[in-house]
Amino acid sequence: MTMTFLAPGFADPSHDAQRLFRGVLDAFSHPGRIVELRDAPAGPGTLSIAAIGFLLTFADRETPLWLEAGVDKQEVRDFLRFHAGAPIVQAREAATFGVIVAGGGEPFAGFAIGTDTYPDRAATLVIEVPALDGGRSTIWRGPGIDGEVRVAIDGLGDGFWPAWSANHALIPCGVDLVFACGSRLIALPRSIAVEA
């Protein structure tokens, strides 16, 4: 690891992480709500500020991380290992967190979905998208949503929402998602039904 070239992490690790934690908690408590992560550092490579903020807040040495080829760069690996302590794994099924780029086929395939006894052992995926609006309009319903909410995330392939429906049908198992773009994110817990 070449420490000279590491991008800076949190300026104030304890307080910055607490503020980001509250922001992500707000996003998961209100699926479909766009949340701004103002205190996240820029980080290296092509990872968005929101993705970096999420990973620095939740990833640690006990949470293996898998990176898709599009974001799996040496400077990203070094940054996450140093600032979060997260081990980078080669296999999706070994990951607690995964980072993928929108538009690929079978985005959830191979990730841990938990078990009926231990649903918390499922993976959480951070999906880098070109925009959190302007895409195909969808209707989300479920816990944390008052009635329904319309969400139009851009850059998701045609097979994405059918794959999500199959994931949702696995309740209490299944992966959870975070869509990230710039410094903003939207959370999609597995408990949310999406009508596309």
pLDDT of residue 21: 85
pLDDT at 12 (0 to 100): 63
Residue 2 has a pLDDT of 45
Say which CATH topology domain 13-195 has: Rossmann fold (3.40.50)
Structure-block tokens of residue 126 = 């951070």
pLDDT at 104: 76
Write the CB contacts of 8 (distance below 8 Å, at least 6 apart in sequence). 41
Label residue 4 by pLDDT band (50, 70, 90).
very low
Q: How far apart are CA 45 and CA 50, in angstroms?
A: 13
Task: Report the pLDDT averaged over residues 18-29.
Answer: 89
The predicted pLDDT at position 41 comes to 74
Give the start-to-end residue ranges of the domains of the chain: 13-195
Q: What is the CA radius of gyration of the chain?
A: 16
What span, in angstroms and rounded, lies between the C-alpha atoms of 84 and 51? 13
Chain segment 61-100, per-residue pLDDT in tens: 999 999 999 899 998 998 899 888 899 999 999 999 999 9
139-193 pLDDT, tens digit each:
999 999 999 999 999 999 889 999 999 999 999 999 999 999 999 999 999 999 9
pLDDT at 1: 46
Q: Indicate yes or no: pTM above 0.95.
A: no
Task: Give SS3 for 131.
Answer: strand
Report yes or no: 30 and 144 within 8 Å, Cβ to Cβ. Answer: yes
